[in-house]
Structure 1
């Protein structure tokens, strides 16, 4: 735990590769002190089919969902979401005339029903 899923529209412009974006996000989450390094799991999903509003405009978005085990207070969850948002914002740039929205949602997974097994070292 946690699980971080970053969805990016196919027209997004990054200052780095998607792999490096995940490295930056993972490092930011580790730096919060809330997670152990091997427990941070992240992935990028590029959206080829998407809509943003109804107007025909050059728009792009990044939306991240951070799933954490329950038990953290609202202020901590808000801080974790802002940490991810800041890490993503540093690596996203808008093209000329383009609008980019970056959002993060932190969701709680119920500890009582979450299952995890580790195989090997």
Structure 2
């Protein structure tokens, strides 16, 4: 915990690699002071089959889901979501400059502590 899943359409033009995007997102989450470094888990999923609207246009989207344990107030959840959104938006700036429209969204979901299970095998 937390778990960050970034889904992006395969036509999304990034100005960095997906690995670098994850590095930046993890760094932003660590900088929040809410998580221990080794607990931050993230991944990118590239969508090869997708639709956005009905018009044929140069569009792309990126949606991130940040799952965190419950108990944090709304302001903290909003700040975490905005931090991830800012990292992603910075990564797609080149795509926008090339005429592509990119929608970036972030959803912060709470996992219930009472039902969350975790084991660390060392």
The verdict on a shared fold, with TM-score over 0.5 as the criterion, is yes
Q: CA deviation at 1:118?
A: 0.4
**Runs of 5+ unmatched residues, structure 2:** none
Which consecutive residues of structure 1, in runs of 5 or more, have no partner in the other structure?
Answer: none
Aligned to 1:91: 91
Structure 1 residue 97 displacement after superposition: 2.7
Distance 1:58 1:14 in 2: 14
Q: Which moved more, 1:73-82 or 1:91-100?
A: 91-100
Structure 1 residues 81-120: aligned runs within 5 Å: 81-93=81-93, 94-95=95-96, 96-120=98-122
| TM-score w.r.t. length of structure 2 | 0.95
Aligned residue pairs total 120
How far does residue 59 in structure 1 lie from its aligned partner after superposition?
Answer: 0.3
1:28-107 counterparts in 2 under 5 A? 28-93=28-93, 94-95=95-96, 96-107=98-109
Give the number of the structure whose residues are more often helix, by fraction.
Answer: 2
Structure 2 CA distance for aligned equivalents of residues 89 and 97 of structure 1: 15
Runs of at least 4 residues off by over 3 Å: none
TM-score, normalised by the number of residues in structure 1: 0.96
Q: d(CA) in 1 for partners of 2:17 and 2:99?
A: 22
Q: Equivalents in 2 of 1:48, 1:23: separation in Å?
A: 23
2:99 and 2:23 map into 1 onto residues whose CA distance is 29
